Amino acid sequence: GAVVSQHPSRVICKSGTSVKIECRSLDFQATTMFWYRQFPKQSLMLMATSNEGSKATYEQGVEKDKFLINHASLTLSTLTVTSAHPEDSSFYICSIEGRSYNEQFFGPGTRLTVL
């Protein structure tokens, strides 16, 4: 498999602030990373596909100006939640595509709580 890390694992912030979440591929270069959001007792919701060196592709209904994605290197993608509000509180998970069979490997997730 692939090893993916995320930082921070948990963040609590005040409404109106911005929060940056990092996703790193630790053992190989990932040209494509995915960002998901998961609300309690719900399934994963794909937010965007992050492509190294180009703009991210956002899913319908996801505001690209609110959820800024930067994939500046083959091992790092960042998601910035701008002007966070309580409704943005969720579990944010990144994933990378495996080398061989198109499987996805997930990072440990970041739990965001906006007060």
The residues binding other proteins (CB under 8 A) are 1, 32, 34, 42-44, 46, 91, 93, 97, 101-109, 111
- CA 11, 77, 100: angle at the middle one, nearest 5? 120
Tell me whether residue 44 or residue 62 sits nearer to other proteins (CB atom). 44
Nearest CA among 93, 11, 101, 111 for reference residue 50: 93
Summarize the chain as % helix, strand, coil (round to 5). Answer: 5, 50, 45
Tell me whether residue 75 or residue 95 sits nearer to other proteins (CB atom). 95
The answer to whether residues 95 and 48 touch, using CB atoms and an 8 Å cutoff, is: no
In the complex, the smallest distance separating the C-beta of residue 83 from other proteins, rounded to whole angstroms, is 26
In the complex, the smallest distance separating the C-beta of residue 107 from other proteins, rounded to whole angstroms, is 6
Tell me whether residue 53 or residue 101 sits nearer to other proteins (CB atom). 101
Beta bridge partners of 110: 92
In the complex, the smallest distance separating the C-beta of residue 108 from other proteins, rounded to whole angstroms, is 5
In the complex, the smallest distance separating the C-beta of residue 72 from other proteins, rounded to whole angstroms, is 21
